[in-house]
Amino acid sequence: MQATRKSRLNFNIGLIYRHLQRNAKLFYTLLLCLYALPAAALDSPVFYKVEYQQQQAYLLGSIHIGQADFYPLAQHIESAFTQSDALVVEADITQGNAAALLQQYGVLSPDIAADVDTTRKVYCQTHQAMCQALAPYAPWLQSTQISVNRFAELGYSAEQGVDAYFTANKKDKALIELESIQFQFELISSFSVETQLQMLDDAINASDAEMLDLIHAWRQGDAQALARIMEAQAGESDEFLEKLLWQRNHSMTHKIIQLLQGKTQKQLFIVVGAGHIVGQQAIPDLLRQQGATVTRCTLLQC
């Protein structure tokens, strides 16, 4: 099925959601969808080995939501994680003050309240309690929670997201963040009103069938399909591609290179949203431009 319309933050918003849920109890569960697939051991998400200046790392594209049958992941992924001495994630959700972040970045501006109400009018006819609870918040944050509710009904939770799984099982591994929760709040809240309203509209109107494409593509490791989905999510918004993907890809690549150059850890296991390692200006390509050897790993070889 061709991807056309998606919730714009499917690859990225799970981190923010889990941080809020952990600290503020405002939100419930997030992102992605139902699909009948083989056992997790037969899945092959997009996964790379990175070699740079005699240092080695593994790079996994994640989705920030999951289900029990995702785990354990394929043996080559689990083995790489076991052998690594540091887990690198986009952001450490235990850091930051949720209430302060909400107050600083998540409050609805009165100037756009009427536009928000118009965008969600039909949805709120059947979700009155939720809409009332969300009324004080910016449209980007409302879009997040509406996505949360829709996907939770399909049986998926952020607590079982891929990044959450590895964080919960890191044991004595160092935990390193490429960004921060505050950075992600600040970034998404900086989107134009037009982009935020479109995010809200997409969260309400994206079809279940389209969302199924995403989880299927992730589990199958279909990089081309994932890239098409990201392009469809962006639509005509250059802001979405530039800010949410490409600029962050460059900054995260820079941080990964710094970590490898530092040689503090023998082996890194890096988990970022799958949208960051496929398509244009993807992290694997940017790492190659910096002189790293990047190899796609599969069930059969790495």
Mean pLDDT of 202-223: 89
Placement of tokens 């200046």 in the chain: 53
pLDDT per position as a tens digit, 230-269:
888 776 667 888 899 999 999 999 999 999 999 898 899 9
pLDDT per position as a tens digit, 161-184:
899 999 999 999 999 999 999 999
What backbone torsions phi and psi does residue 206 show, to the nearest 5 degrees?
A: -60, 140
Query: Which residues make Cβ contacts (< 8 Å) with residue 82, sequence separation at least 6?
Result: none
Q: Angle at Cα 153 formed by Cα 149 and Cα 158, nearest 5°? A: 65
Q: Please state, in angstroms and rounded to a whole number, the distance separating the CA atoms of residues 124 and 129.
A: 8
pLDDT reading at 31 higher than 70:
no
Helix, strand or coil, per DSSP, at residue 281: coil
pLDDT reading at 62 higher than 50:
yes
pLDDT reading at 68 higher than 50:
yes
Residue 267 pairs in a beta bridge with 56
pLDDT reading at 28 higher than 70:
no
pLDDT per position as a tens digit, 120-146:
999 999 999 999 999 999 999 999 899
pLDDT per position as a tens digit, 281-295:
999 999 999 999 999
Amino acid at 74: A
Q: Please state, in angstroms and rounded to a whole number, the distance separating the CA atoms of residues 7 and 10.
A: 6
Domain range list for the chain = 14-296
Find, among 11, 5, 4, 1, the residue nearest to 163 by Cα: 11
Question: From start to end of the chain, where are the E strands?
Answer: 47-52, 55-62, 86-89, 174-177, 267-273, 293-296
The model's pTM: 0.86
Least confident of 84-88, 91-95, 105-109, 135-139: 91-95
* Other Cβ atoms closer than 10 A to 168: 10
Q: Please state, in angstroms and rounded to a whole number, the distance separating the CA atoms of residues 220 and 213.
A: 11
pLDDT at 214: 87
